[in-house]
Amino acid sequence: MRPSRSVILQIFVITLFAVIIVRLFYLQLIDNSYKQNANNNVLRYEVQNPPRGEIFDRNGEYIVQSKEVYDLMMVPKDVKQFDTLLLCSIVGEPIEGMREKIQKAKRYSWRQGQVILEQLPKEVKIKLDERGFPGFYTVFRTLRSYPRKIAGNLLGYIGKVNERELERDPYYKGGDYIGKTGIELAFEDILRGEKGVRINMVDVHGVVKGSYAEGMYDTVARPGTAITCTIDAELQEFAEELLAGKVGSVVAIEPSTGEILALASSPTYDPDEMVGREVNKNFPRLNSDPRKPFFNRAVMSVYPPGSVFKIVNGLIGLQEGVLKPEYKYYCAGKAGYTGGRGVACHGHTSPLNMIDAIKCSCNAYFCYVLKDILENRKYGGVKNGFDVWEKYVRSFGFGRKLDSDFIDERNGFVPSRETYDQKYRGSWNAFTVISLSIGQGELGVSPLQMANLAATVANRGHYYIPHVVKKIDGRDSIDARFYEPHYTMVESKYFEPMVEGMWRAVHRPEGTARIAQVPGLDICGKTGTAQNPHGADHSTFLSFAPRDNPKIAISVYVEHGRFGGTSAAPIASLLIEKYLTGEVKRPELVEYVKNMQIAYPYYDRQRSK
């Protein structure tokens, strides 16, 4: 029997009321989203930005600190009528500028808190709190400060996150700051800390009335972790002082640990120029400078190593048995076996043994050495010999990144058999690549790699990966890879005659590095003059001291500085003296270095365009 229409209607009405009752029960007792939305009208969630981790030098001196600043925020819907002139006078902003910022914020969002002015000092924040402008509040933030104003390229700078960085890491929100270069970028996850949140109750006028639920739901910001660098702040400052006005770099390493004592690039910039409200003016100026102050030449430049590379070829020759320290070769200004097409050399006594060839930096001598390596009969041909030579060179850390702990390190370039097969269509011999004997040709190395070579010779055959962080607070040690020695393919015993030659280069009358001598310090060094297609030759010097149990290994590279003994060697000598003795007793040499007149036509032409 079918139910009547009245029964059906009654069932429908009862069902409808049942659904309504269940829904009301769910909304009032189970689902609290509406309650939360209501609360959001009277609660303000304020992000608590953590202080960024500070950075110390190896002796515990601050090289990067954080200082307290505040961003002025505005929630447009909470803004009531206020004294615009008073607000502008407190924050130091023109009225028209302030009105423009307020209108922009209103167009963007009516309910969200937005930054109106950034990086206000604490005294301004206090005045704003005293006056109490409805809808305005301040958010704590920290800025970087630099007590010595050094190491801009090494430390790097922080800046606002961009769209790509926001997409990559949900930790960041618009207006946040992030490490952009250098240590600030490489150790961002450690330095940034963790944000917190404070929930405040706000009245209808936007005035904070207190903490919500007595702070039960607040989270405390965790400050960033402090880092202790391997850098010696005094040595770094002195290196930058000596490089001022020049284009080049200094890299100093403690051979027994691989710790970088100084890493200077010139020209550089005052790191304070990349902090505060003047960044928008300073960045375009620095970025457009043709000498590229943001470019960290110490790790990013790739140069021909010049004559310092004779050390590597000599060591390979000794290990392979085609060279002995007592072997002598004649030099008549160029390597005679090339039929007049040899590499030119400078005047010195002849013939020379290997030790004195290093002392006098004889080009012809090392042309013979490379030829003998490549033409060694046991290889069965020059190309096979070249393969062996390449493996030796790469074992010194060339042609690849050294796996240091900072970014932007370059590989450099070590040519292979394939390089010349392509270039010469397979037809080449030892004479074709003879310029490699003196660090020219296709070879490209970074100043960091050259300093690592100095450390390798100082250690008689091994090195530790160069690194710039010594300690991270709360951790027992740094990455294990920095404690492992890396051995070259050359046995330790073959380094001693090479060290003797480097010692004589500094301490004997015919030595090319006599200017680097400091009584009592036993400095060992090798000069280099690297050919340059854009002007005068580059000057380079590789050294370590003392001879036994070395404490510092250093590479100096000065673009257009001409001979290694002219520009690079005196800089290295002064830095070694400063580090080992704590002072410099040769003021006349300091003045000589500071007053060097070096022409940079390539950069000057770029500036004039």
- Tell me the CATH number at 432: 3.40.710.10
Whether residue 287 is found in the same domain as residue 158: no
- 24 occurs within a structural domain: no
- 589 occurs within a structural domain: yes
Structure tokens at 16: 């409808």
Last residue of a domain, one of 229, 247, 279: 229
* Best CA proximity match to 343, nearest among 369, 322, 321, 379: 369
Whether residue 388 is found in the same domain as residue 525: yes
* Best CA proximity match to 515, nearest among 599, 586, 596: 586
Residue 115 exposed, middle or buried by CB count within 10 Å (0-12, 13-18, 19+): middle
Whether residue 323 is found in the same domain as residue 308: yes
Whether residue 162 is found in the same domain as residue 257: no
Cα–Cα distance, 216 to 209 (Å, whole number): 16
Q: Which H or E run includes 200? A: strand 196-202
CB contact at 8 A, 458 and 544: yes
- 9 occurs within a structural domain: no
Structural domain boundaries enclosing 66: 43-75+105-229
Whether residue 222 is found in the same domain as residue 296: no
Last residue of a domain, one of 197, 229, 261: 229
Identify the pLDDT of residue 564: 93
Overall number of domains in the chain: 2
Cα–Cα distance, 539 to 531 (Å, whole number): 9
CA dihedral 506, 512, 513, 515 (to 10 degrees): 110
* Domain at 166, CATH number: 3.90.1310.10
Whether residue 169 is found in the same domain as residue 222: yes
Low-confidence ranges of the chain (pLDDT < 50): 33-34, 37-40, 336-340
Identify the pLDDT of residue 218: 83
- State the Rg of the chain over Cα: 33
- 123 occurs within a structural domain: yes
- 91 occurs within a structural domain: no
What secondary structure letter does DSSP report for 148?
S
Secondary structure (H, E, C), 273-315 = HHCCCCHHHHHHHHHCCCCCCCCCHHHHCCECCHHHHHHHHHH
Cα–Cα distance, 362 to 353 (Å, whole number): 10
Whether residue 512 is found in the same domain as residue 599: yes
Whether residue 362 is found in the same domain as residue 483: yes
How many other C-beta atoms are found inside a 10 Å radius of the C-beta of residue 362?
28
Structure tokens at 568: 């690079």
CA dihedral 147, 148, 151, 154 (to 10 degrees): -30
CB contact at 8 A, 196 and 215: no
Whether residue 238 is found in the same domain as residue 159: no
Distances in Å between the Cα of 358 and the Cα atoms of 70, 130, 454, 593 are 60, 74, 14, 25
Whether residue 466 is found in the same domain as residue 379: yes
Whether residue 333 is found in the same domain as residue 219: no
Identify the pLDDT of residue 531: 86
Whether residue 224 is found in the same domain as residue 307: no
- 87 occurs within a structural domain: no
Structure tokens at 506: 């500094």
Which residue carries 């930054």 as its tokens?
115
Phi, psi of 460 (to 5 degrees): 60, 45
* Best CA proximity match to 46, nearest among 140, 175, 126, 134: 140
pTM: 0.86
- 15 occurs within a structural domain: no
- 217 occurs within a structural domain: yes
Last residue of a domain, one of 229, 250, 276: 229
Cα–Cα distance, 268 to 279 (Å, whole number): 16
Structure tokens at 354: 């290997």
CB contact at 8 A, 522 and 546: yes
Identify the pLDDT of residue 334: 58
